[in-house]
Structure 1
């Protein structure tokens, strides 16, 4: 399982355990571990996460390596964590601020055709469409608009642009293509390559886009 997926999945489950039981030990542990990981792997200037410490300071032809799907797991996962927290709490404020900072960074990195490149700051190095990262980011953007965390005038167009890009990667038979295979860094994707996590991201995006269209 990819590292970022484990990272946010465990955090969201601990948040849910806190909400169900009311026992702060779950919340305190989740918050301290998430913050420690973020302090280590989050690049404050870029507003993005490194996949792991192997990529801190490493450059790909002069470009920092921020993997699209890895950041997608985190951005989408933050929505699950925020749902479990009490509004106004220090934890709630922390995660909302982090989510909004990532959204601001990701908005700037969306390509002209609506995708997010496999290496977020290296679109010129990875011009092939990629739908798993794009799916997660589209979902996160639409969720933020629908729930009042992101300004509609600024971010709805970002979500629609991402959604339209995803649509162009669905074959006549209904298969979502251009999903990068399981990995740990930017790589390759093909029009006939799909994976369940890419489809999951696409369907998640679709549920929020449906709500956005209704609004």
Structure 2
């Protein structure tokens, strides 16, 4: 009986904690609080480096670091980014055609726009010239260049940022071509979400469909978070009159509609979007990218404020609940290619922090 009483008490405390009053939640939206929390998460992460600095994981992290710099104008953050660039010699990763190895260049370009130091972008410019002159050779499910949905966060923004910076449509054209190939391969017209790669597509000849315990299709939360984050970063750059801009706008709005419907009561999203019951609590990286994307959509007039603002507010409160006492962003699924249950409060990754920082950089702009 005592054990039953203790269990019921714990459940009551959890429910009471999760249903905080609007008054209690106001602090999460104060500018001073957002900046303080972003700095706390960033400081912890900088003290706990992981992976090669040019790695895709750090590409996502430093995208968030730059967003934190824009938000706070902290010289300390600029110094951290500059030291990263110097350590990398401002180079992309070593794989010419692999989108992951282009992700870190987003930060180089953003920094170049402020400092004007050409060394920050010359290596990526040289890499791009080799990229477009060297045929990609892939086989099977890797037949196209960007064959996995994560790629749509990694390379497209770097391409488009270079196109804007140098007023060179070649970068736009290559992004359009490669993104559309990925879209045609992985976009699900029923759910308006992206499969992670061809091995998760249904009704494809020669491919045995993978499915969740509830029999539904597998749509990985972080994978679709990568795409929504990538859409934001492309749309933030493309000129308003760019001929193919509407394709990205439509893709963004369709995904936003689906993601809104899949948000859970705690404001977060589960590692598997269509089978939340089979997975633990809210996952930090996917939820962070969705919060970033939806908040950006409101701030830039692409999403209806009345419809989406409550979801963003719930999501931001939920994300703050994942910050651990030492400052690290917990409940982050480790590196993988599909939903997994292998994470908990202590679980962290640099891209989880990056997603949180990106989210904070847009939530702070909301007109509430």
Fold shared, TM-score > 0.5 on shorter chain: yes
Aligned pairs for 1:43-58 (under 5 A) are 43-57=188-202, 58=210
Q: 2:362: which partner in 1? A: 208
Q: Cα distance, 1:177 vs. partner?
A: 0.8
| Conservation of the 8 A alpha-carbon contact between 1:85 and 1:91 | no
TM-score using structure 2 length: 0.56
Question: C-alpha offsets along residues 74-99 of structure 1, whole Å, 9 cap, x if unaligned?
Answer: 10111110122121333111101100
Q: 1:158: which partner in 2? A: 311
Distance 1:23 1:172, change over 3 A: closer
TM-score using structure 1 length: 0.94
Aligned equivalents of 1:56 and 1:174: distance in 2?
38
Q: Cα distance, 1:190 vs. partner?
A: 0.4
Matched, 1:127 2:280: yes
Aligned pairs for 1:19-98 (under 5 A) are 19-57=164-202, 58-61=210-213, 62-98=215-251
| Conservation of the 8 A alpha-carbon contact between 1:175 and 1:194 | yes
Question: C-alpha offsets along residues 35-87 of structure 1, whole Å, 9 cap, x if unaligned?
Answer: 11101101011011111001112212201111000110110111110122121
Q: How many residue pairs align between the two structures?
A: 214
Q: 2:347: which partner in 1? A: 193
Q: Cα distance, 1:115 vs. partner?
A: 1.0
Once structures 1 and 2 are overlaid, which stretch shifts more, 17-26 or 48-57?
A: 17-26
Aligned equivalents of 1:146 and 1:139: distance in 2?
10
Aligned equivalents of 1:117 and 1:63: distance in 2?
14
Q: Cα distance, 1:199 vs. partner?
A: 0.8
Max radius of gyration: which structure? 2
| Conservation of the 8 A alpha-carbon contact between 1:85 and 1:92 | yes
Matched, 1:112 2:265: yes
Aligned equivalents of 2:242 and 2:335: distance in 1?
36
SS of alignment partner, residue 103 of structure 1: helix
User: In angstroms, what is the RMSD of aligned CA positions?
Assistant: 1.5
| Conservation of the 8 A alpha-carbon contact between 2:149 and 2:186 | no
Distance 1:166 1:27, change over 3 A: same
Aligned equivalents of 2:286 and 2:178: distance in 1?
24
Aligned equivalents of 1:210 and 1:195: distance in 2?
23
Aligned equivalents of 2:152 and 2:309: distance in 1?
28
Q: Cα distance, 1:31 vs. partner?
A: 0.3
Question: Which structure 1 residue ranges, 5 or more long, are not aligned?
Answer: none
